[in-house]
Amino acid sequence: MPLFAIVRDPIDPRTLEAAVWSEACGGIAIFLGVVREHAGDGRPVSGLTYEAHEAMALAEFAAIAREVSEQHAGVRLGIVHRIGDLRIGEIAVAVCAAAPHRAQAFDACRYAIDELKARASIWKKEHYSDGSGDWVSN
């Protein structure tokens, strides 16, 4: 699979893991963002809807990966974000960082998810159990 993708079907993190792996890496850090049953303010959540400006989001994923490469030589980063309607427990985003050593893998993975949340052209609507919903920003 490509290293950067926006998908509508469920995410299989093992596929992304396989895409970033190389014989030179000694560690792979994986972050999975999953749909939680409550909002930041504690309200019960029944599900999320994501939408994206796909071309802009993919360009941002690639930019984040370039920044990671500048910080840590030899790191390979993969990012997949799902859009559409997601249920509790489903994976919304997977970030995989493969590196020669674990410290770089953890650093790259953390950097990538933090930057994605701040920069990528992706939006999230929380659906509450009372039938209402809100677009929430990070």
- Positions touching other proteins (CB under 8 A) are 33, 50-53, 55-57, 59, 81, 92-93, 113, 116-125, 135-138
The residue type of 131 is G
CB of 93 to other proteins, least distance (A): 5
CB of 41 to other proteins, least distance (A): 15
Sign of CA dihedral 11, 12, 14, 16: negative
* d(C-alpha 49, C-alpha 135), whole Å: 9
CB 17 within 8 A of CB 28: yes
**Comparison of 12 and 51: residue with beta carbon closer to other proteins:** 51
**Comparison of 71 and 138: residue with beta carbon closer to other proteins:** 138
CB 83 within 8 A of CB 8: yes
**Comparison of 132 and 137: residue with beta carbon closer to other proteins:** 137
